Amino acid sequence: MRVVVQRVASARVEVDQKLVANIGRGILLLVGFRESDTEQELDWMARKCLELRIFEDEGGKMNRSVMDERGEVLIVSQFTLYGDCRKGRRPSYTESAPASVAIQLYRRFVEIVSSYYPDVKEGIFGAKMKVSLINDGPVTLIIDKD
């Protein structure tokens, strides 16, 4: 499992020019899955993302989590996170979970994150989404469970 975490001032997802989800201050999670991902990895990643201390405290030090800040969370599926660009010019997606598996992993990940923190919104799995964000900082992290 791989997640790109972005601390955002705001973020939104549109599908077919219709607003699907939007958040204010919080984190945007772009998530990609492999077929071998397990329930334990999903839980580990959910907790890691929610507990990351990437928001500044009173002293200006990144020492607070999205939960500490009572921020919002937006989760967007992105199979391209496992794109392999080492050979040629077209990425290979052989490491990405097939859609039939990825949708189950995605749904379960959203459930797990929501069980730890209530203010969670999401894009639409498999849709062609327009994701807009204002990155705060900027702060962007890549988390691999491997």
Whole-angstrom distance, CA of residue 72 vs CA of residue 24: 7
Between strands 72-77 and 26-32, the pairing is parallel
Confidence of residue 124 (pLDDT cuts 50, 70, 90): very high
The residue from 78, 94, 104, 109 that is catalytic is: 78
CA atoms within 13 A on the CB side of 22: 12
Active site residue 80: yes
Single pTM value for the model: 0.95
- pLDDT, one tens digit per residue, over 56-112 is 999 999 999 999 999 999 999 999 999 999 999 999 999 999 999 999 999 999 999
Active site residue 55: no
What is the DSSP secondary structure assignment for residue 91, as one 8-state letter?
Answer: -
Phi, psi of 113, deg, nearest 5: -60, -45
Active site residue 79: yes
Residue 126: is its pLDDT beyond 80? yes
The residue from 55, 79, 94, 140 that is catalytic is: 79
